[in-house]
Amino acid sequence: MHDMEPMSTARKVNLVAAFGLALGGIFGLAGTLVSQPHAQALLWAIDGSGLVMAAALLTMKYFRAGQDFVAAGFLVFAVAEGVLMSGTAGGPAASVPAFAAGVALWSLALLLISIPRQFATPVRLVGLVSAILFALIAARIFGGVQLLPTSSPLPFYAYPFLVLTFAGWIWELLRERH
C-alpha cells in the first residue's frame, strides 16, 4: 500500500472555499424560493455564513498570489455578505436598507473580481452581468423604490447569474492543480 501524499494547504483552501460558495448558492436560492420568513432567514444565514467564509479564504489566496484587485473584490464581497446578514433576521421588508447596501457592495465586488483576467472569460462575463443587475437593483432602492430581496423580476432573476458566477469560481478552484 502506498502512502498517499498529504493534501496541500492551497488545495484545502480551494476545497473549503468551494464548499462555502456552494452553500451560498444552494441556500441563497432556497431562501429566495421559500415564503416562510423564519425558514427564509435561516437559509439566508447559512448562505451568508458560507459566503463570508469563502470570500475570506479567497481574499487571502488572491492577495498572496499578487492579484490585489481580485483579492479586494473578495474582501468587499465578505463585507457585503456581513451587511446583508445584518438585515436577514428582520424579514424581507425590514431588511431593505441592508439589502440595498449589500447588493451595491456585491456589484462593486463582482466588478473587482470579474474585470481582471483571473477567471475564464465566460465566468467573468456572467460576473459582469451580475454586477450590472445588482447595481441597478441598488440604484432603484436608493432612488426610493421599495424592492424586497424576493421582488420579481429584479432582484429575483438576478440571483441565478450570481449563482452561475459562484459555479464558475467553484469550477476553477476545483480544477487548479497544486
The arithmetic mean of pLDDT across residues 59-75, rounded, is 98
* Mean pLDDT computed over 99-108: 98
Q: What is the mean pLDDT of residues 137-143?
A: 97
pLDDT tens per residue across span 106-128? 999 999 999 999 999 999 999 99
> In this model, does residue 133 exceed pLDDT 80?
yes
Q: How far is CA 54 from the centre of its chain?
A: 9
Q: Is the dihedral of CA 54, 60, 64, 66 positive or negative?
A: positive
Specify the DSSP class assigned to residue 116.
S
CA distance 138 to 132: 10
